[in-house]
Amino acid sequence: MTGSDRPADTWVLVPGAGGEAWYWHLVVPELQRRGYAAVAVDLPAGDESAGVDEYADVVVAALAAHRERTGGGGRTFVVAQSMGGLTAPLVCARTRVDLLVLLNAMIPQPGEVPGDWWETSGFREARRAQACRDGWDIEDLFEAFMHDVPADVRAEAVRRGEPDQTGAPFASAWPLDRWPDVPTRFLQARDDRFFPVDFQRAQVAQRLGVPFDEIPGGHLVALSRPVELVDRLESFVGPGRPGGADPGSG
């Protein structure tokens, strides 16, 4: 927790598909209660002309505006949910970040077209096999995302309606030529019905080689277990430099 003698550390929260900052609406007050600043970002997910570079521009601008308002200082931690894994490394390459946490996230590779990731990563086969083992309906995406989300939050999500998500971020090769030199952790909800935990563990080992941590919950764990999520995020940081292996050395 931040001491009164130094600026608050800031968590920058990058959403997944649909790009809604609302995804983090239960996490933000929990972080603030513990003395952190939190910047939850809306991405231009409905803009057909916006790809991952433009998404990263929006996040960097939001962080810059926050630093301007607060005078900067403190450490900066970026958390990226699901599809946010395509955007967050670009943010880390463009501005100072002290820790990147990938949460139930996609892991891109240099030059890979994100639209090809669904096949090249082995995602479809892994998800189908997990659905067969666990007995859930692979076609029911709403239940895959919301199966452990409390009824009132589910109802609010339904009321808000499904957000737009264009295919633009998936159409071009991922632009970085290497993973940014930022300490990185991977946090996976072990009950995720969209990105199964065994699939994700293999992806992290093959593509990043960074610490792999698990937490109870499903794909939208920020909606189902916000306090437990913040507990785990807080465990990654401390009074000194945050932990995590340098993926560039993996």
Predicted local distance difference test score (pLDDT) of residue 72: 84
Reported as a single tens digit per residue, the pLDDT across 189-212 is 999 999 999 999 999 999 999 999
What's the confidence (pLDDT) of residue 245? 35
Residue 238: per-residue pLDDT:
72
Lowest mean pLDDT among 6-10, 77-81, 203-207: 6-10
- What number does CATH give the domain 10-239? 3.40.50.1820
For residue 43, the model assigns a pLDDT of: 98
Confidence class of residue 243 from pLDDT cuts 50, 70 and 90?
A: very low
- Provide the pLDDT for residue 5: 58
Instruction: Read off the pTM.
Output: 0.92
pLDDT band at 181 (very low <50, low <70, confident <90, very high): very high
- Which residue, 178, 167, 177, 50, is CA-closest to 115? 167
Question: Percent of the chain scored above 90 by pLDDT?
Answer: 86
Of residues 27 and 242, more confidence is placed in 27
% of the chain residues with pLDDT over 70 = 93
Residue 239: its pLDDT value, please? 47
Question: Is the model more confident about 242 or about 70?
Answer: 70
Q: Per-residue pLDDT averaged across 44-54, rounded? A: 97
242 vs 59, higher pLDDT: 59
Q: Please compute the mean of the pLDDT values over residues 19-48 and round it to a whole number.
A: 97
Residue 7's pLDDT band, with cuts at 50, 70 and 90, is confident
- State the average pLDDT over residues 223-244: 80
- Rounded Cα distance, 123 and 194, in Å: 9
Give yes or no for a contact between 88 and 102, defined as CB atoms under 8 angstroms apart.
Answer: yes
Predicted confidence (pLDDT) per residue in 22-35, tens digit: 999 999 999 999 99
| Amino acid sitting at position 14 | V
> In this model, does residue 92 exceed pLDDT 50?
yes
Q: Give the closest residue to 216 by CA, choosing from 204, 202, 205, 232.
A: 232
User: Of 76-85, 125-134, 202-211, where does mean pLDDT reach its minimum?
Assistant: 125-134
For the chain, the average pLDDT equals 92
